[in-house]
Amino acid sequence: MTDTVGIERRDALIREAFRLEYLTVIWMVIEASVAIGAGIAARSLTLLAFGIDSVIELASAGVLVWRLSVELKYGRAFSEKAERTASRIAGALLFALAGYVVVTAAWGLWRRAGQAFSWPGLVVTGLAIPIMYLLAKQKLVVAGRLGSRALRADAVEAITCGWLSFVVVVGLLAQLTLGAWWIDSVTSLAIVWFLIKEGREAWSSEE
């Protein structure tokens, strides 16, 4: 009887994990679409980098959904191997994005090229702060009960995304109030730290 209850409880927790990941996927689609579109329209490197990072996190959420499905069917060993490969790919993409941001920001500072302010960008990054906080908080609870390091790592990514959103919001507000041409490039360089941190965690992550 105890085993049955345990299995039923775990199944309920896995369903909750699926729900959280589906919510993450929905939000990341919105976040990436708006941020990349706004970044291109405003010629903002900060928003563009934020949007591309959202695409990478979207892929990470998709991998975790797949991994949970595989674990239910084939067990943890197969799903862990697949996740490690996917995590290294995500880490490499984050390193590449960090390099792109550094080069592009340096070029913008060299050319003294500015950008237009973006209200859509401010709205989506502002909303991302509380949304990522709530998702991360719930994921940490479920991850602890499931004993899932993969879900916990995904929750940490959500926390990082929240801080990244905060940096972007500060940069956009500074741009709105000061109107300085160099703010976007400097803010984008601040994002590099988050990208490298996420990249290192993804590359070296192990279950």
Tens-place pLDDT, residues 138-193: 999 998 888 777 788 788 888 888 888 998 898 889 888 887 778 888 888 888 88
Q: pTM of the prediction?
A: 0.81
Lowest mean pLDDT among 15-24, 45-54, 70-79, 89-98: 70-79
Average pLDDT over residues 70-78: 64
CATH of the domain at 23: 1.20.1510
Q: What is the tally of structural domains in the chain? A: 1
Tens-place pLDDT, residues 197-207: 888 877 876 54
Q: How confident is the model at residue 26 (pLDDT cuts 50, 70, 90)?
A: very high
Cα separation, 108 vs 187, whole angstroms = 12
Tens-place pLDDT, residues 102-117: 888 888 788 776 677 8
Q: What is the pLDDT of residue 79?
A: 60
Q: Domain containing 100: what range?
A: 2-204
